């Protein structure tokens, strides 16, 4: 989900949804144990009020170092009048929960980061317990989607699963990491993701799971033998297509839509009533560059929530995206929200800009999603203090009426 502040945003419209990312390690809070409270919440608290959430990323953050740090974050979020956490559970080809599916396909049972591989911790269960303690929705976030590091066990074990670009390469740079795409046209990749998703929703009683803009494919990829053979078989076109060829783009987008539909059907069969959330870039940029035709996902009833990432440098640019006819057309067909960039480590965003973009989104009837936790709470712009950022959050997100 990490992106330059200039990258197209990811947000969409409809009902109200605010998602704010906050991750602060190291304050004093009682540890949250998986057994402290019922391990799940099968309904969305925030449907009765404006959804205000937080993506909890593992990037530039040590929040999963301990249960104390996780509890500190949950307490801080609740105290800032937020009502949802979107914690990462799948990133860089690893899970932040014990997964039998990963073992079956040659991966690690759980990520070795944050000391998880040597202990008995289950961050997914701990987040759910914290949700009960602090009355927060917990929406597990499969952040890296179809991307995996090129040296990840899944990539090494299954080289035939990887897509190739127009020049035959399997790797590209993702924030300094040599990265590959798992090919969603490949039947085994489809089966793996179905099993992984179903495993999660049957193990943890959650109301929603989310995939973001990484559930996609760069428009220069799709030139592996499996994909090209399927394309030629289904279209009768023998020539090697250009990356920007309209038919080739449409065909790949349709295949991705079929894949997302398969995941949606599988999790809803395994746990009736569960929702599928996605967090793409704005349309049509998402379609032209990442073959994501997410408006069709809404129209077909495949997804239930869309948090469109509207990462812009100016309020005027955000306003322009929010006036998109695509958002207007989809209103009421899914829960829609706007993603606001709160900054990244090299690019802090002043809290005043975060406040102004939040106000615009809410004026248009949208909730807001902030990326990401550390940048919102700790990465200060020149002349700011951490306490000043927190005061800004309190001012822009006043208390809401009590939820039933």
Mean pLDDT of the chain: 88
Residue range 99-106: average pLDDT? 98
Q: Give pLDDT, residue 400.
A: 79
Instruction: Assign 21 a pLDDT band (cuts: 50, 70, 90).
Output: very low
Q: Give pLDDT, residue 95.
A: 98
Q: Give pLDDT, residue 372.
A: 86
Bond before 267 cis per omega within 30 degrees: no
Those residues whose C-beta lies under 8 Å from the C-beta of residue 325, and which sit 6 or more positions away, are none
Look at residue 99 and tell me whether its pLDDT is greater than 60. Answer: yes
Residue 166's Cα: distance from chain center in Å? 27
* CA-CA-CA-CA dihedral for 209, 196, 184, 338, to nearest 10: 10
Domains of the chain and CATH, by start: 17-396 (3.20.20.80)
Look at residue 345 and tell me whether its pLDDT is greater than 70. Answer: yes
> Order of strands, edge to edge, in the sheet holding 177-181?
147-149, 177-181, 172-174
Q: 54-63, 173-182, 365-374: lowest mean pLDDT where?
A: 365-374
Q: Report the alpha-carbon distance of residue 110 to residue 34 in Å, rounded.
A: 16
- Inter-axis angle of helices 351-363 and 315-322, nearest 10: 20
Q: Give pLDDT, residue 120.
A: 87
Look at residue 35 and tell me whether its pLDDT is greater than 90. Answer: no
Name the DSSP letter for residue 47: G
DSSP letter string, 194-205:
HHHHHHHHHHS-
Q: Give pLDDT, residue 334.
A: 96
CB neighbourhood size of 191 (10 A) = 12
User: Which tens digit of pLDDT belongs to each residue from 283-339?
Assistant: 999 999 999 999 999 999 999 999 999 999 999 999 999 999 999 999 999 999 999
Q: Give pLDDT, residue 369.
A: 80
Bond before 355 cis per omega within 30 degrees: no
Q: Give pLDDT, residue 186.
A: 98
Look at residue 401 and tell me whether its pLDDT is greater than 60. Answer: no
Strand partners, 369: 19, 339
Read off the pTM.
0.88
Q: Of 23, 38, 147, give the one whose Cα is nearest residue 76.
A: 23
Q: Of 133, 46, 122, give the one whose Cα is nearest residue 84.
A: 46
CB neighbourhood size of 384 (10 A) = 15
Instruction: Assign 374 a pLDDT band (cuts: 50, 70, 90).
Output: confident
What is the SS3 assignment for 394? helix
Those residues whose C-beta lies under 8 Å from the C-beta of residue 60, and which sit 6 or more positions away, are 344, 345, 374
- Inter-axis angle of helices 187-203 and 246-270, nearest 10: 30
User: Which tens digit of pLDDT belongs to each residue from 243-299?
Assistant: 999 999 999 999 999 999 999 999 999 999 999 999 999 999 999 999 999 999 999
Q: Report the alpha-carbon distance of residue 322 to residue 338 in Å, rounded.
A: 8
Q: Give pLDDT, residue 352.
A: 95
Look at residue 22 and tell me whether its pLDDT is greater than 60. Answer: no
DSSP letter string, 297-327:
HHHTT--SEEEEE---SSHHHHHHHHT-HHH
- State the maximum Cα–Cα separation within the chain, in Å, rounded to a whole number: 64
């Amino acid at each position: 989900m990490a992106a330059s502040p200039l990258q197209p945003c990811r947000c969409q419209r409809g009902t109200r949804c605010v998602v704010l990312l906050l991750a602060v390690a190291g304050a004093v809070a009682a540890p949250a144990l998986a057994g402290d409270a019922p391990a799940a919440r099968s309904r969305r608290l925030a449907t009765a009020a404006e959804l205000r959430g937080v993506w909890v990323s593992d990037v530039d953050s040590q929040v999963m170092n301990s249960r104390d740090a996780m509890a500190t974050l949950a307490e801080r979020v609740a105290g800032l009048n937020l009502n949802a956490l979107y914690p990462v559970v799948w990133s860089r080809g690893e899970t932040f929960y014990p997964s039998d599916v990963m073992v079956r396909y040659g991966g690690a049972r759980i990520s070795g980061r944050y000391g998880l591989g040597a202990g008995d911790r289950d961050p997914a269960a701990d987040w759910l317990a914290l949700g009960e303690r602090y009355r927060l929705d917990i929406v597990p976030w499969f952040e890296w989607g179809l991307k995996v590091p090129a040296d990840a066990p899944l990539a090494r074990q299954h080289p035939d699963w990887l897509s190739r670009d127009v020049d035959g390469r399997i790797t590209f740079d993702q924030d300094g990491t040599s990265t590959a795409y798992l090919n969603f046209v490949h039947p085994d990749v489809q089966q793996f993701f179905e099993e992984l998703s179903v495993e999660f929703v049957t193990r943890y009683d959650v109301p929603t799971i989310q995939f973001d803009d990484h559930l996609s494919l760069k428009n220069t990829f799709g030139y592996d033998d499996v994909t090209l053979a399927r394309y030629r078989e289904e279209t009768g076109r023998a020539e090697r297509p250009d990356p920007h060829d309209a038919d080739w783009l449409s065909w790949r987008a349709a295949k991705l839509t079929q894949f997302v539909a398969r995941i949606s059907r599988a999790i809803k069969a395994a746990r009736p009533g569960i929702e599928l959330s996605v967090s793409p870039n704005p349309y049509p940029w998402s379609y032209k560059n990442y073959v994501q035709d997410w408006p069709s996902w809404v129209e077909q009833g495949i997804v239930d929530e869309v948090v469109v990432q509207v990462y812009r440098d100016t309020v005027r640019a955000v306003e322009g995206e929010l006036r998109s006819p695509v958002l207007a057309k989809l209103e009421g067909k899914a829960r829609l929200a706007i993603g606001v960039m709160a900054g990244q480590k090299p690019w802090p965003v002043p809290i005043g800009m975060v406040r102004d973009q939040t106000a615009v989104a809410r004026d248009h009837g949208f909730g807001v999603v902030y990326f990401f936790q550390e940048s919102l709470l700790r990465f200060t712009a020149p002349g700011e203090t951490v306490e000043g950022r927190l005061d800004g959050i309190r001012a822009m997100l006043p208390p809401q009426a009590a939820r039933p």
